[in-house]
Amino acid sequence: MAAFRSNIFMLAFFLCGFSVFVTGDVQTNQMNVAETVFIDNVPTTETDASPPSVTEQSQTAEEKRLWEGTEVGTNLADGASDNKVDHVHDTMQATDAPPSPPAKDQTQRFAFDERIWEATNVEINLVEDAPPIRDKEADEADHVLDTMQTQDFPPPSTAKDQFQEELVIKPLHSGDIYASFQFRTQWDTDFLLGSKVSHYRLFPKSLGQVISKFSVRELHISFTQGYWRTMQWGQPFLPSPPGAELWVWFQDTVTDVDLAWKELTNVLSGIFCASLNFIDSTNTVQPSASFKPLGVGNVTDQRFLRYAVLPREIVCTENLTPWKKLLPCGSKAGLAVLMKSEKLFHSSFHSQALHIRPVCKDWQCKSTSWELRQTLNVVFDLHTSGQGKREWSLFKMFSRTLTEACPLASSSKVYVDITDNPQGELFELSPATPLVSQAVVLGDGRTYSVYDLTDHATFGQTHSLNVLLRWRAAESGEMLRPLLHGERYVAGYGLQTGEIHTLVYNNHPYRAFPVLLLDTVPWYLRLYIHTLTVTSKGRDNKPSYIHYQPSKDRLQPHLLEMLIQLPPNSVTEVTVQFERALLKWTEYTPDPNHGFYVGSSVISALVPSVVAMDTNNTQERPLFSSFFPCKEESTYFMRIYTEPLLVNLPTPDFSMPYNVICLTCTVVAVGYGSLYNLLTRTFQVEEPSQGLAKRLANIIRRLRGVPLLT
Amino acid sequence: MEEDALNQSTAAEADISLHMLSESPSGSVVIYVVPESSTVLPEGVSVYVGQRRTALLRAGGQMRVAVALKEVLASLETWIKQVLQVMSFSHGDITAALSDRVRPGDRSREGLADSMRAFKSSPGYEITFSLLNPDPTSHLLHWDVEAAISSYIQPLLSKMAPVANFSIDSQILYYAVLGVNPRYDPTLNAYTLNADSLSHVINPVEARLGSSAASSNPVLNFLLYVPDSRHSPLHITDHRRHTVPSNAFSSPRWGGIMVYNVNASGTELPVDVHIDMRRVMGVFLPQLRLMLGVQSAAPPPGFLIGPCGNAGLADWELDRLMWTRSVENVATATTTITSLAQLLDQIGNIVINDNIAEQVSSAVASLQLAVGQLEVGNLGLAMQYSKEAILQSERAFFDPSLLHLLYFPDDQKFAIYIPLFLPMCVPILLSLLKMASEVRQRPGQGQAKKD
């Protein structure tokens, strides 16, 4: 009985200990503030003089003047701009100014495409603080009209939808090859006003159903494996963070955006075979400034925007196959035949993306059509696999050659970047092509050789096109340092506190420009926002706009958005300290010791163009046109992503509870057993039998005839 | 009035004017008995089934002498039974509707095939028309599917609106090929697909069709396949190797496929082809009727079934379908609730939330209402209640909180306590063994003591 009682005590004691262990992580949360904190110092008008912010304002202005003082001689364009908003307006006008007439038809089309993509981007991105104005759309239409008229755009075809495909190949300075596919389907229809019946021709049915069911206005999704090394490779055409990224603008008719977002992520995870269903409120944010719509439309209310990143997502063939299926020609014809997954995934970087947005249908932009852009970017490391020989061909990269264009495509082209090779002294490109195109891509004038696949002459005698590039010189020239670059790491030691460092580089020699920094941090890293510091060139750099939304445990992540002015030729460091939270034992991932990912920071910026930096510019153009830097090309929009972070959280030994159970139970059982024996056994005195030694001694004694021992 | 109507020259006109006179409620059948001398019915036809809920029945030869009403009715009884068999809800329909739950037993093969062909009852259906173009370099296909759907398919669907919701899509798929290589038949000078190989046709195409992303309703697929010029013309042959005139086939509970041959005689590729949608819809419409469960059994001899109007569906056919669907829905909802109850019996400590309990009770209430309305013969309401019952029962059954795996079974709890119980059992077992051996020894000792 006593044993039984002690057993109960032991068990009760153990259970208490265990429950303490389990509930130990329910700690008080310091940051459990529900409302969003806005710290906004940007003066919206020139005559702004609100008393509380006046000192800070003058401080920043003073700093600003300091920088200007050092570089005032070179900075002609920005001399007049006093604060950021002014600067922003300045650049906006720049995009509105009519561009100078370029030289060739090919160039124009390409450049136009690029610019429209950027221009809409820029325009909406920068009017972030202004309320949506009715005139804006008309304004935009005017702008588009303007650009359209200066460049002879091909007349709109009668077909209701059209498809274009394009491959750009760019030899990188590191010796790698960058191949970027773009497929564009444009469809003149209205998903939302039309009747229930939908008839699809080139546009994929599954996506059309998604758009109309969830009233999506814009959808951007990307799957990326690997990290884009900006310092070695320059800028990508379309940036994307490692893992999966999804951001969606809903129509303003949607009443329950959260519900629509949840269902949409589930449907998309089914369509793309990805784990997008792991997107929930703990990793979804509504950025206030960083992600503005890229298509036409005047709703910029962030209530209809959702943004989520899954940095853990692994991208592989099962994501590529459904992506390829959305193309009208599948992987049967056109450029898509090159997409063999065993080659595409044997690469340093792989990123596939899909963008849906409404675009202007015609010159007047009175109605919209839907654009579906599918892009695939790959970086091949041919230098190491090619036994040190620097040459590449389509066949070497993709183990296929091109034989035909997709018959449904209205244009199908392959571009090869030959900017560094104007005289053919660096490398040799075969087969040679007479078509050359020039375009300003990401603020840099580039020259491309063009292969038009719709032209039968391109394929020549062999009926196949295998673009081959052989290097002559061992070393390619120095790469221009990218003007904007970001890095991020976790500092600190121990498992309790730490510090996130974000470094933003402005490599422009004489111009300062503002960047928008967006950070989303999961709730289990509790940010101490009072420790937020922004320093550049060794002194404090006060952000002019901060939008911070604190996290709620298990409900929402931290969101931190800042507008920071980057001084020229500087490194700006943003640090913030955090504390690691203890998770409940069911909240750990299956491999908790691997660490927990924190998604990339997003840096969006209007970057001064390299073209304006070019001193040779004055030699090619008439003198009267080149005194002031050409405004139209002076800035361009850029978005870069930093590395995702991998943070170790305090991780318990998950086998411990069972070990403890085993150990305590054994101890209890042994105690119980001995007590039980003690209580139930009867003890009696027993005559000990003669020992072995005594018996032996007696035998010897008997032999000797001595009396025996008793 | 009705005599005037019956004096029309043809049965179809009589049918229409009778309908103008009085509209019969859904679920009922009105039979007009016309004298043998009447010229309304054509020669050799004794029963005319109209497109509404009326039937004209010619009185037999012996009618002339019969006087009493009873005798008249008695003589007509066999005919009336047959009319009801055709027009109304019969025993066969019940067995067909419940075929999934009732053992097939003695039912005919054909009846089984019929019941397997139609989709199961569902609150909504997605209908997808796909045009497969395996070679866009040689054919440039144009189909005016929008107009064809609104003129051929939409009338039928709007008539069937009380049964279910329908949504229609269409798409064009390029480079979509069939899974079987057609064989060249020199006698026909054409390529043929045998009926045996048709089962392999669908699979590779289905991967490209794309499941419906926006809803979980069953999808009816209708594929129009235009063979490429190298495999043209292409014919489907039946088991006796005769070509099928419609050049189409259907797959039960999946959809239909039609092969549309074009003679690409043009010299310049690609050839523009405009598809004759009338021909295509002429094939797809009957297939759609079959898939949706509108049965068209061959009428018994002496019956003439009137043309079913531009909706493609007679009123009595709709009534019969609604009977069938209501019964099927009631059966499905009952099974769902029963299996939910079974699940709850299996897992004792499952948590039933209030909303689930509410859904179950409202499902049961709707079920009872549906059965009550069916008894009265009020088809529309019965259909509506049975649909509600299905929705609620499914929602209760598939509630995420009732996931089986959330409740781990009791034996696993015991496994955790094994380290405690096993060592504790050892001394108890040992002492039990000792006691047993003592008991066995004691009789021997007792005997020894007696001695």
Q: Which residues of A touch B210 (CB under 8 A)?
A: 204-206, 325
pLDDT at A194: 53
Residue B143 has pLDDT above 80, yes or no: yes
Rounded Cα distance between A412 and A452, Å, is 6
User: CA of B295 to nearest chain A CA: how many angstroms apart?
Assistant: 27
A670 interaction partners in chain B (CB closer than 8 Å): 423
Q: Which amino acid is at B174?
A: Y
Q: How many residues does chain A have?
A: 710
Residue at A435 is within a domain: no
Distance CA B172, CA B226 (A): 11
Mean pLDDT, to the nearest integer, of A114-130?
34
pLDDT tens per residue across span B57-101: 776 655 555 566 777 777 777 777 777 777 766 666 676 666 666
Residue that the structure tokens 């066969």 belong to:
B92
- Is A498 within the bounds of a domain? yes
Q: Do B424 and A7 touch (CB under 8 A)?
A: yes
CB contacts of B208 in chain A (<8 Å) are 325, 330
**Taking CA B206 as the corner, what is the angle to CA B223 and CA A187, rounded to the nearest 5 degrees?**
70
Could A197 and B169 be called an inter-chain contact, meaning their C-beta atoms sit closer than 8 Å?
yes
| Last residue within a domain, chosen from A647, A681, A701 | A647
Q: So what's the pLDDT on residue B6?
A: 65
**In the predicted model, what is the mean pLDDT of chain B?**
78
Chain B residues bordering chain A (beta-carbon distance below 8 Å): 128, 136-137, 145-146, 149-150, 167-172, 174-175, 207-208, 210-215, 270, 416-417, 419-420, 422-424, 426-428, 431
Domain count across chain A: 4
Backbone angles phi, psi at B444, to 5 degrees: -60, -40
User: Highest mean pLDDT: which of A438-452, A468-482, A575-589?
Assistant: A575-589
Given a cut of 50, is residue A439 above it in pLDDT? yes
Based on the domain organization, do A670 and A535 belong to the same domain?
A: no
Flag if B214 and A661 touch (Cβ within 8 Å).
no
Domain contains A510: yes
The answer to whether B283 touches B246, Cβ cutoff 8 Å, is yes
pLDDT tens-digit map of A212-260: 888 888 999 999 999 998 888 888 888 999 999 999 999 888 889 999 9
Instruction: Work out the average pLDDT over B182-195.
Output: 82
- The confidence score (pLDDT) of residue B279 equals 87
For A598, the enclosing helix (H) or strand (E) is strand A596-598
Q: Are residues A625 and A694 in the same domain?
A: no
Q: Do A267 and B416 touch (CB under 8 A)?
A: no
Q: Which residue of B has its CA nearest to A204?
A: B171
Q: Is residue A708 part of a domain?
A: yes
Q: Among all residues of chain A, which has the CA nearest to that of B172?
A: A201
Look at residue A85 and tell me if it is in a domain: yes
Evaluate if residue B371 carries a pLDDT over 80. yes
**Do residues A130 and A91 both lie within one domain?**
yes
Mean pLDDT of the region A63-67: 39
Q: Which chain B residue's Cα is nearest to A668?
A: B420
For residue A64, the model assigns a pLDDT of 39
Host domain of residue A667: 658-710
Question: A676 vs B428: CB contact, 8 Å cut-off?
Answer: yes
Choose among A196, A662, A677: nearest Cβ to B427.
A677
Contact A334, A353 (CB under 8 A): no
What does the pLDDT average to over B425-430?
85
Q: Could you tell me if residue A457 is inside a domain? A: no
Decide if A470 is inside a domain: no
Residues A570 and A688 in one domain: no
- pLDDT above 90 covers a percentage of chain A that reads 27
A374, A409, A444 — which closes off a domain? A409
First to last CA, chain B: 121
The answer on A260 and A137 residing in a single domain is no
| Pairwise CB contact (< 8 Å): B128 & A205 | yes
Residues A128 and A193 in one domain: no
* Residue contact A200–B172, C-beta within 8 A: yes
Q: Which residue among B137, B170, B212 places its CB closest to the CB of A200?
A: B170
For the ranges A425-434, A629-638, B201-210, the lowest mean pLDDT is seen at A629-638
Nearest CA in chain A to B149: A197
State the Cα–Cα distance between residues B60 and B75, nearest whole angstrom.
Answer: 8
Say if residue A390 is in the same domain as residue A500: no
Whether A124 and A191 map to the same domain: the answer is: no
Q: Which residues of A are less than 8 Å from B167 in CB distance?
A: 196-197
Q: What is the pLDDT of residues A68-92, one digit of tens each?
A: 333 333 333 333 333 333 333 333 3
Average pLDDT over residues A671-694: 80
Percent of chain B past pLDDT 70, that is, above it, reads 72
- Write the pLDDT tens digit of every residue in B39-55: 666 666 677 777 777 77
pLDDT band at residue B102 using 50, 70 and 90 as cut-offs: low
Cross-chain Cβ contact B174/A404 below 8 Å: no
**Whether A558 and A663 share a structural domain:** no
CATH (domain of A558): 2.60.40.740
Domain termination residue (choose one: A597, A626, A647)? A647
pLDDT in tens, B287-335: 888 888 776 666 666 676 766 666 677 777 788 888 888 888 888 888 8
Q: What is the pLDDT of residues A542-557, one digit of tens each?
A: 999 999 999 999 999 9
Q: CA dist A678 to A375, A671, A683, A686, Å? A: 80, 11, 9, 18
Please tell me which residue of chain B has the smallest CA distance to A674: B427
The pLDDT tens digits for B344-354 are 887 777 778 88
For the packed helices B379-397 and B315-346, what is the interaxial angle rounded to 10 degrees?
30
Q: Within this chain, do residues A12 and A135 fall inside the same structural domain, yes or no? A: yes
**Does residue A378 carry a pLDDT above 90?**
yes
Predicted pLDDT of residue A107:
37
Residue A161 lies in a domain: no
DSSP state string for B201-232? THHHHHHHH---SS--S-EEEEEEE---GGG-
Q: What is the C-alpha separation between A658 and A299, in angstroms, rounded?
A: 56
Q: Chain A to chain B, count of Cβ pairs less than 8 Å apart?
A: 102
Residue A18 pLDDT exceeds 50: no
Name every chain A residue with its beta carbon within 8 A of the beta carbon of B171: 199-201, 205
**ipTM greater than 0.85:** no
**A644 touches A598 (CB < 8 A):** yes
DSSP B428: H
Together in a domain, A664 and A641: no
Q: In this structure, are A329 and A261 located in the same domain? A: yes
The whole-number pLDDT of residue A67 equals 40
Residues B208, A325: C-beta atoms closer than 8 Å: yes
